[in-house]
Amino acid sequence: MKHRAAYLAFDRFPSSKGSAVHIAQMADELFTRFEGGLLGVIGGGDLPRYQREGTREIARFDARVPNLIDRAEAYSGWVADHLEPHLGTLEVCHVRDPWSALPAVPDGRRHKVVYEVNGLPSIEMSHTWPGAAPTTLGKIRELERYCLERSDAVVVPSRVIGDAVRGLGVPESRIHLVQNGAEPPGATGRPEGAPARYLVYVGALQPWQGLDVLLRAFARLADLDDLRLVVCASVPERRARPVRRLAERIGVGERIDWRFELPHHEVAAWLAHAEVSVAPLTGCARNLDQGCAPLKVIESMAAGVPVVASDLPAVRELMADGEHGRLVPADRPAELARAVRVLLEYPEEAASLGRAGRRRVEETLTWARSRARLAEVYRTVTGPAAEERVR
């Protein structure tokens, strides 16, 4: 098959992580618009190397390369090989990272490149890979800058990330805000095994997520002996060992229920039946300088559960303190515990915040709205001729 569109991401897909939810929505919009396309992603495990679904093809890079940088470079070469058969027909190539972008931005290309920046590896890798040499991070930053300069449009999910991209020299006219979204769920049954009364955390377990801060806050709620914490972790159980050891050390291990790699459709029920959803993001460079777009906040609001989250610029784009939930200073367990306690003591106020959060999502943060904005980006970069072909 010769494709008119390709979506490329150095991410495992599908998975239980928020990035996979985002990829599914964005790629579906691209492929709906261009009558199919190529999805190039990371595989491994029991995921097939190749799938075909009508006019859509999924190819997965599954080479086992232990070193992250070596793996990224090998993936970039794999992307080049998979794009080559489509260069004569390709109209739009949508990428999520510099290793996907590099093979897509050569001189003389006929297709347009939409670079979706959900994070900057030059910043993020200093947190995920503490041993990274400054020279390596500097080279990655130059690669980011090179690919961004040669892209036709840059999509960002938050204004904070947009500011970071502008700092790399991308002109305002090429930056487009396409926020994450959610679909407010209908009535959901209580999950099997759910505690009678619980707080919920949803997401991955990297240090910048702040789960350690939440655990210390939860220790300050020990007098609420009927309250449990449910952690819906989007990663395998083995990656939870450090935080589970911390939970045992500070005396909350017996009060936590762990759920690992839940299918995304099951998470909504855990959110909907929680007393409070907590997003304790830390005030690190990854969240402040680079920025973030926490899908967990939007999905919690969509489920109608009151949210207590860190008071960061990217979070303030999504919710207002005292209107859709409560914002507290980052990295402050005592402040976090106090905010949760107040919501538990005033359930009517908490329910009102949850309803307001759901209305906020219904009015401004649905995936349908996000996809409409993305479609406008495609129209902008491809021009009238491509628009006629789509019709």
Mean pLDDT of 252-279: 96
Give the Å distances, CA to CA, from 109 to 87, 150, 213, 269, 387. Answer: 8, 11, 48, 46, 19
* β-bridge mates for residue 139, sequence order: none
- 267 shares a domain with 120: no
- 147 shares a domain with 294: no
What digits encode the pLDDT tens for the residues 159-201?
999 999 999 999 999 999 999 999 999 888 999 999 999 999 9
| pLDDT of 220 higher than 60 | yes
Rg for the chain, CA atoms, rounded: 21
What contacts 162, CB < 8 A, 6 or more positions away? 156, 175, 177, 291
Q: Is residue 191 part of a domain?
A: no
d(CA 390, CA 44): 34
What contacts 100, CB < 8 A, 6 or more positions away? 8, 9, 10, 40, 75, 76, 79
CA 241 to chain centre: 23
Q: Is residue 188 part of a domain?
A: no
Q: Is residue 377 part of a domain?
A: yes
- 86 shares a domain with 11: yes
- Determine the pLDDT at residue 385: 56
**CATH code (residue 337):** 3.40.50.2000
Quote the percentage of the chain above a pLDDT of 90: 89
DSSP string, 31-97: HHHTT-EEEEEE--TT--SEEEETTEEEEEE----SSHHHHHHHHHHHHHHHHGGGTTT--EEEESS
pTM score: 0.93
Q: Is residue 187 part of a domain?
A: no
Split into its structural domains, the chain has a count of 2
- 352 shares a domain with 370: no
- 334 shares a domain with 244: yes
* Angle at 326 (CA atoms; ends 320, 330), nearest 5 degrees: 100
Q: Is residue 38 part of a domain?
A: yes
- 147 shares a domain with 285: no
Asked if 40 and 79 touch (Cβ cutoff 8 Å), the reply is: yes
How many CA atoms within 13 Å lie on the side-chain side of 154?
31
Q: Is residue 267 part of a domain?
A: yes
Cis? peptide before 14, omega within 30° of 0: yes
- 37 shares a domain with 165: yes
Give the Å distances, CA to CA, from 295 to 154, 196, 220, 360. Answer: 20, 26, 27, 14
pLDDT band at 238 (very low <50, low <70, confident <90, very high): very high
d(CA 251, CA 94): 47
Q: Is residue 137 part of a domain?
A: yes
Q: Is residue 193 part of a domain?
A: no
Q: What is the dihedral of CA 100, 101, 102, 108, to 10 degrees?
A: 130
d(CA 220, CA 254): 15
- 278 shares a domain with 318: yes
d(CA 367, CA 301): 14
- Determine the pLDDT at residue 200: 98
d(CA 121, CA 273): 36
Closest CA to 25 of 3, 44, 9, 4: 9
| pLDDT of 285 higher than 90 | no
Structural domain boundaries enclosing 347: 198-364
CA 391 to chain centre: 31
